[in-house]
Chains A and B, each alone.
Chain A
Amino acid sequence: MTNSECKSCPVHHEAHLRALGIDMSRYDFVVALAGNPNTGKSTLFNALTGLRQHTGNWPGKTVARAEGAFAFGESRYKVVDLPGTYSLLSTSTDEEVARDFILFGKPDVTVIVVDATRLQRSLNLVLQILEITDRAVLALNLMDEAGRHGIEVDVRGLSKALGVPVVPMVARSREGLPTLLQMIDEVATGAYRCKPRRLKMERRVVEEMVCSLEEKLAEVFPGVPNLRWVALRLLEGDQSMMEAVSEGHLGAYEALPESEPEEVLALAQELRWQLGTDFHDELMESIFSEAAKIAGKVVRMEGKKEAFSLDRAIDRVVTSRLWGFPIMLGLLALVFWLTIVGANYPSAMLSGLLVERGHPFLRDLFLSVGAPAWLTGLLIDGAYLSAAWVVSVMLPPMAIFFPLFTLLEDFGYLPRVSFNMDRLFKRVGAHGKQALTMSMGFGCNAAGVVATRVIDSPRERLIAIITNNFALCNGRWPLQILLATVFIGAVAPAHWAGVISAAAVVGVAVLGILFSLAVSWALSRTVLKGEASAFSLELPPYRPPRFWETLYTSFIERTLIVLWRAVVFALPAGMVIWLLANVHVGGLPLAEHFIRAADPVAMIFGLNGVILLAYLVAIPANELVIPTILMLTVMHLGMEGVAPGQGVLFELEDAQGIAEIFTAGGWTLLTAVNVMLFSLLHNPCSTTIYTIYKETGSAKWTALATFLPIGLGLLVCLLVALVAG
């Protein structure tokens, strides 16, 4: 691979890249983008690639990946955005992904994005990367902020100290981008030869041990450029490195014939016993002390550090005893209000387009070409209608809620919410960030489950995933509001009806939060007791959110993915619903058989057979529950002239008409209350279940997250029915 004759040839490792999910067939060079979180890495990525990017996950990992492309001069470049990490030496999945990519994918250039205002902190990662690769460019980002804070960086001195090109820039305004492209090209084509700084261990004895292992390695693998890194990894007990040595090939380099790779491992083992348990600590200390030395030479501060005082001032207000919680509740209420109010109009429009007009149009189209009635029913009344329903009810609120949420996140406010809420969540064995994933769950539980990726501790993340369903999602609010208005508001004095029904809905949502806390507490003390747990919470600097970028990415990454999954599940469910109402056995529809059999059991829980069946078939989306209940009730009672057709989902404009159907179906206040409770406490929708499985990779936790809420729901309904009866 590294052909010493050809200095301008690519060095990346195609086969390994393919295993890491990167296809290089249409590109000349691959560029990896590495850096700490909150250094503007994704802004730079967007500036480099524009909209020529796509996002996904790393193969077999729940770590998001973005890749894109650009052309410069004669060459086409593929850009891979690595997860933002502080280090490459730990065992977290993010770091493993980044480390393996640089080590085995051998990118032609690694661009390390560094925050000029916090250079010393970033140098930790820089020094680690320079141990692995000698083809790197440092993008010294946020130079404008540094200027404002009176921080000056000696760019040439830094470049000299590190042995790689350093490009000062402001990614947000694309300042310095041409120079960066130029330097990427020069390093990729070999016009610029990096001479990266290599680490020295602080203690002489340790340094000697590392050297002796490096020498031993050189006997077996002569010519490998980064043997010191290999030695350090062996002393840290890195399994993949030990296997590579023992099999006799490091990347593309083969061990000398006749040599004994096992001797290297034996020496490493012996040295590790001598080093004791502190090697990792010592390594980190050496790196940080090197970073401090370099930063001390090249960074100059003008004036006092108080330049960061604006951030501190905002923090003092938003985390204060007096204002912290009111601001938080106010902002959340605003987000919900904007979502609910803002979603009405587009929802009505989509529903008019897809359901009221699109459905009859497609139906007529099918009939006019002579399609059999059953096919029209199955595909149009079943599959199409339920998918159209899901899209029109689900899309607008999510398309408003998620961008608003992402804007708050981008600004830096959301981590402060976690900070404020952490004490409460700590008491129940959870992480403060669960406040965020729970809020996200109010929009959509599937998105809430994906959002738990921000919780970087296994136990707390599982707790947040399993309890997310207790946050009353967007798809369940309409049912709560409808039943509260029709049944609970009706028993209250007329002028209080509005307030009391609203209070009932909020009460259910609050009950959900209480359940989420109680279940977190129980989980952390029982089934999840033995899971590992770690805590740290970064409060990033406040930055003005990037408005359009946020809209775009939150729409693509949160809204569309969830919507797509929901539609995929809604299509077959629509067919099932239609079949249940239209396939007759012994003169009755299948649904009727189920309803009659389930009725006596459901009555014990203060529900009825129709409701149970509706929850069973509407599992793809909670949005489908109301129309399914209406359709099944009308079918069950044999009501004429209400529904557009057997097995066709529908909803009525006025609440009174719905109330009449429900009352005719035998509903009482108890039924309504129990349906409201059961709507809060039942299995997550299939999209969420699937997402939980994807995120945890475990059937066990998925089953727990699915059945625990149903069990609780049935129990609560039973208790209410007993008390009421």
Chain B
Amino acid sequence: MLSGLLLVPLLVFMPEKGLWTRWRRRRQNMLRVWMEDALKALYNCEYKGISCDVGGLAGRLGISQDRVLQVLQKLRDQSLVKTEGEQVLLTRLGRSYALRIIRIHRIWESYLANETGMAETDWHRLADLREHELSMEEVNALAGRLGNPVFDPHGDPIPSATGELPRPKGMPLRDLPEGKEGIIIHLEDEPPEVYAQLVAMGLYPGMVVRMLEKDDKRLRFEAHGEELLLAPLLSSNVTVRALEEEDRVFDAGLSLLEVPLGEEVEVAGISRACRGQQRRRLMDLGIVRGNHIKPLFRAPGGEPTAYDVLGASIALREEQAKHIFVKRIQNDK
């Protein structure tokens, strides 16, 4: 009886498959959602320079091929796409429509990442819902409040309000030559399962990796002093570019959490996983590359810990300290 009562709200409010979410999705004009999703998918193909056909679209959108044809017909009627043989191409109008949706999606992801406490793996899903609901005016106002971000939290460039987007850069991780270093500039957030796996491995845009060895079955590379393995198929979801001489690199071997009380160390950087207000706060307090920091004492419960930063005592919890990377100070004398 009691468990039955508990089950009802679960059925209604379960994320993704709950009745409420389903009802919400249905309520939004389904056809429009598919049309917008199709435009987005087509734009992605175009951006990456791969061809897109009906089968591929059906896979990406998770609907039947018949339905895709119906959606494409509708798009053709509004001159948003044109077909050339098997290939589906965007018209100028379609491209600007797609860029609008992408802008909304990526701004919303930036908002979730910087201004809310939502989990990283939820951003994409939530943005997929919101992108069909928000107007361009609302999003531009939101972007203004966020400091007009030009990259989303996955490292994707955000189309400007006037619909510009820079040319794609970089290469898939598997193209990075052995022994060479590269910087991750993008993590593909679709499909979500792969993205979750990449996040779980600790990869993030801005991370420096060094290719150790690669063959058909797996890639072996180094990041943060750790050796990681990845199947070549998954590695196409990681985009890198070669490291340049003046690039800012921080060596993220040691986290502040591991430094014993009383040892003064040098800040190497703050992990990309620490975002928004928290990140800026730490930097304002002087936790910036090159400055020194020293754990002083801990609270009676073992946490938080007070640190000396440029002469002031600042207390941080474990979850902040673990995102701060430091270097031991060498005693040359």
How far does the alpha carbon of A626 sit from the alpha carbon of B317 in the complex, in Å?
45
A121-B299 in contact (CB<8A):
no
Pick the contact of B278: A85, A269, A325, A534 (CB < 8 A): A534
Partner of A419, one of B276, B291, B299: B299
**A237-B148, A239-B148 as given contacts; A537 in contact with B118, CB under 8 Å:** no
**Interface-forming stretch among B35-43, B51-59, B150-158, B224-232?**
B150-158
B277 near A284: Cβ-Cβ < 8 Å: no
Distance (whole angstroms) from the CB of B312 to the closest CB of chain A: 6
| Contacts known (A277-B155, A530-B116, A535-B278); A121 close to B311, Cβ less than 8 A | yes
Query: How long is the Cα–Cα vector from A316 to B309 in the complex, in angstroms?
Result: 18
Q: Are A120 and B117 in contact (CB under 8 A)?
A: no
Report the separation of the CA atoms of residues A204 and B248 in the bound assembly, to the nearest whole angstrom.
12
Q: Which of A91, A205, A424, A538 contacts B312 (CB 8 A)?
A: A538
Task: Looking at the assembled complex, report how far the CB atom of B293 sits from the nearest CB atom of chain A, in whole angstroms.
Answer: 12
- Asked if A423 contacts B280 (CB within 8 A), the reply is no
Check B62 for interface membership: any CB of A closer than 8 A: no
Query: A459 to chain B: which residues have CB within 8 Å?
Result: 117
Query: B314–A539 contact, CB under 8 A?
Result: yes
Q: Are B276 and A532 in contact (CB under 8 A)?
A: yes
B206 at interface by CB-CB < 8 Å? yes
Contact across chains for A91 and B280 when beta carbons are under 8 A apart = yes
* A419 to B288 alpha-carbon distance, docked (Å): 23
Minimum CB–CB distance from A501 to chain B (whole Å) comes to 33
Q: Provided the pairs A277-B151, A423-B299 are in contact, do residues A537 and B304 lie with their beta carbons within 8 angstroms?
A: yes
Chain B residues, Cβ within 8 Å of A587: none
Q: Does A533 contact B (CB under 8 A)?
A: yes
* Chain B 254-294 interface 0/1 with A at a Cβ cutoff of 8 Å (1 = within): 00000000000000011000001110111111101111000
How far apart are the CA atoms of A604 and B283 in the complex, in Å? 57
Count how many chain B residues have C-beta atoms less than 8 Å from C-beta atoms of the other chain: 61
The residue on B at minimum CB distance from A457 is: B277
Tell me which of B280, B290, B297 contacts A90 (CB under 8 A).
Answer: B280
Q: How far is the CB of B304 from chain A (nearest CB, A)?
A: 5
Given contacts A118-B311, A121-B310, A532-B277, contact A269 B150 (CB under 8 A): yes
Chain A contact residue count (CB 8 A cutoff): 67
Query: Which residues of chain B come closer than 8 Å to A315, judged between CB atoms?
Result: 296-297, 306, 313
- Is A174 in contact with chain B by the CB < 8 A criterion? no
Q: Given contacts A281-B283, A285-B289, A536-B316, is CB(A423)–CB(B297) below 8 Å?
A: no
- Taking a contact as CB atoms under 8 Å apart, the answer to whether B297 and A316 are in contact is yes
When the two chains form their complex, are residues B118 and A120 in contact, meaning their CB atoms are under 8 A apart?
no
Q: Which residues of B contact A118 (CB under 8 A)?
A: 310-312
The interface of chain B, by Cβ under 8 A from chain A, is 114-118, 143-151, 155, 157, 160, 164, 166, 185, 205-206, 246, 248, 269-270, 276-278, 280-286, 288-291, 296-304, 306, 309-317, 319-320
Residues on A lying within 8 angstroms of B by beta carbon are: 85-87, 89-92, 117-118, 120-121, 124, 203-205, 236-239, 242, 269-270, 272-273, 276-278, 280-282, 284-285, 288-289, 292, 311-312, 315-316, 319-321, 324-325, 419-420, 422-424, 426, 432, 456-457, 459, 529-541
19 A-B residue pairs with Cβ-Cβ distance under 8 Å, sorted by A, are A85-B284, A86-B284, A91-B277, A92-B277, A203-B246, A205-B246, A276-B185, A278-B206, A281-B289, A284-B288, A319-B300, A319-B306, A419-B299, A530-B118, A533-B278, A534-B276, A534-B277, A538-B312, A539-B315
Given contacts A422-B304, A534-B278, A537-B316, 19 further A-B contacts (CB under 8 A): A89-B280, A89-B284, A91-B277, A124-B286, A237-B149, A269-B150, A277-B155, A281-B248, A284-B283, A312-B297, A319-B299, A420-B301, A422-B301, A424-B301, A426-B303, A531-B116, A535-B317, A535-B320, A537-B315
